[in-house]
Amino acid sequence: MPTWMELVKAQLPTAIETLQQYCRQPSVAAQHIGMAETVAMVVDMVKRAGGTARVLDDCGGNPVIYAEFSAGEQGNPNQTLLFYNHYDVQPPEPIDEWTYPPFGAEIHDGKIFARGASDNKGDLTVRLQAIAILQANGGLPCNVKFLIEGEEEIGSPSLPAYLKKYADLFRADACIWEFGGKNIDGRPQMVAGIKGMCYLQLWCRGADVDLHSSNGAIVDNPAWRLVQALASMKSVDNKILVDGFYDDVEPRTPEMIKLAESHPFDVDQMRAQLGLRRPLICGDENPNLHVWYEPTMTICGLEAGYTGEGSKTVLPRRAQAKVDCRLVPHQDPDDILAKVRAHLDKHGFTDVEVTQLNGERAYRSDMNHPFVKLVMETAREAYGVDPILAPTSAGTGPMYPFGEFLGLDLPIVSTGCGWWNSRAHAPDESIRIPDFEQAMLHMVLLMNRMREPIRG
């Protein structure tokens, strides 16, 4: 019998062609483009891999696709692996900054360039193609399910309702999350958890119309009011000053510190890669301690008055800011909103309005769970190097509802086919074909080991 690596190589041309077709179908949730067509395409991909698909569309929003593959005759029908993916992608704009068409899925220099190639169409394709390989070579070692949603890039607002209603349908023994990739040193990076989010919009209104700036002698400026309100929430040394903001943050344990210090973090490389102009705000502490274990408050955008070419002497009628707070386990986005509101009122900014645009809680798997260790072992075999496992992603996704409705002890690990310069939300998003191939091999090796019980 051919080796698994040989079988993956034989499947690679079909996998690449499938991904190209998938990426050429736009599916931009934020712009309501191509969602129905993409759902039909994903259902067809599932069926071609030997599975069954059911489109769930009774809880609002874009449909959720449930896909199921049964264990083969030699497999374990009492064990189930769940994959989470999404079929929606980020908007491609700005179009003129793409070197190749965002929905062209062209191959150049060993890379596939397309919106969604990395986030998240490449990973869904990897997983379905790995299943097709196993189906054709002895059958699946366990049951496999998929939850494929269409609103991840807009905050997954409808997903909790689907998970709550269809919890029995999606229940599993372990879950592979949507994303992942290699760092600049070529080591696959994985995470066993994800940060939460409290995304806020703040408004300050001063008049019904923009005023001549000469009125600045007597009229309060909403832009200044908003800037002062924002400044009151964070110190110059980057401590969040909102009362109670840190109340639910878990104190760092010796194990947490040891794990952070055992993982590489090349500050000089990061500074050069991103062109950073300022020192890291964590000072001399290991950056992992802050990326993994500390909440944040970030001004994502500010808007007020005239910002075009040249000058316009105007006192703006209103100002707004977008602020995101990345949360750690035990923090509640609704509680954070209430504390921000109380802070503004306490400091005299009762006129500054604040609303929550979206909120998600953090989730963290047991790093010592046998499934987590299995993912690492098979990654080491597939990639030929030691993988990196972090307890928490610095980003946010709907991982908490999976734990809430499918069991808070559900082990979840995120791994995928991206690379350090995939540019997932930027122009020229891409994956490298060798990474795509290795990720497929990893999924084959992982599922092949799922005959044995992995529940902790």
Write the pLDDT tens digit of every residue in 318-366: 999 999 999 999 999 999 999 999 999 999 999 999 999 989 999 999 9
Q: E strands along 309-422, which residues?
A: 314-315, 318-327, 353-360, 363-364, 388-390, 393-396, 412-414
Mean pLDDT of 239-266: 93
Burial of 449 from C-beta contacts in 10 A (0-12 / 13-18 / 19+): middle
For residue 252, pLDDT over 60 is answered with yes
Tell the CATH topology of 196-249+295-360: Alpha-Beta Plaits (3.30.70)
Question: Please, what is the end-to-end C-alpha distance for the chain in angstroms?
Answer: 33
DSSP string, 123-148: HHHHHHHHHHHHHTTT--SEEEEEEE
- Helix intervals (H) in 201-253: 222-231
- Percent of the chain exceeding pLDDT 70 equals 100
Average pLDDT over residues 8-23: 98
Average pLDDT on 223-240 reads 97
Evaluate if residue 138 carries a pLDDT over 90.
yes
Checking if the pLDDT of 456 tops 80, the result is no
List the beta bridge partners of residue 224.
none
CB 53 within 8 A of CB 174: no
pLDDT single digits (tens) 282-305: 998 999 999 999 999 999 999 999
Per-residue model confidence (pLDDT) at position 408: 83
352 vs 222: CA distance, rounded Å: 9
Q: State residue 270's pLDDT score.
A: 87
Given a cut of 60, whether residue 230 has pLDDT beyond it is yes
What integer pLDDT is reported at residue 266 of this predicted model?
87
Tell me the CA distances in angstroms from 238 to 56, 224, 229, 257, 306, one per residue in order: 44, 20, 15, 21, 29
* CATH for the stretch 4-192+365-448: 3.40.630.10
User: pLDDT tens digit string along 362-419?
Assistant: 999 999 999 999 999 999 999 999 999 999 998 898 999 999 999 989 999 999 999 9
Write down the pLDDT at residue 421.
93
d(CA 27, CA 11): 26
Tokens for 1?
């019998």
Q: What is the pLDDT of residue 274?
A: 82
CATH 3.30.70.360 intervals, the chain: 196-249+295-360
Residue-wise pLDDT tens digits, 107-136: 999 999 999 999 999 999 999 999 999 999
> In sequence order, what are the residues at sequence separation of 6 or more whose Cβ sits closer than 8 angstroms to the Cβ of residue 362?
193, 194, 195, 196, 327, 328, 329, 330, 331, 392, 399, 400
Per-residue pLDDT at 155: 86
Percent of the chain with pLDDT over 90: 93
Amino acid at 134: L
Q: Is the model's pLDDT at 455 over the cut of 80?
A: no
Number of alpha carbons in the 13 Å side-chain half-sphere of residue 243 = 8
Q: Residue 85 — very low, low, confident or very high, per pLDDT cuts 50/70/90?
A: very high
* DSSP, residue by residue, 48-65: HTT-EEEEE-SSSSS-EE
What tokens were used for 362?
């953090």
pTM: 0.90
Handedness of CA 11, 16, 18, 22 (dihedral sign): positive
Listed in sequence order, the residues at least 6 apart from 218 whose beta carbon sits closer than 8 Å to its beta carbon are: none
Q: Where in the chain is CATH 3.40.630.10?
A: 4-192+365-448
Q: Which two tokens stand for residue 71?
A: 């264990």
Average confidence score pLDDT of the chain: 96
How is residue 358 written in tokens?
């979206």
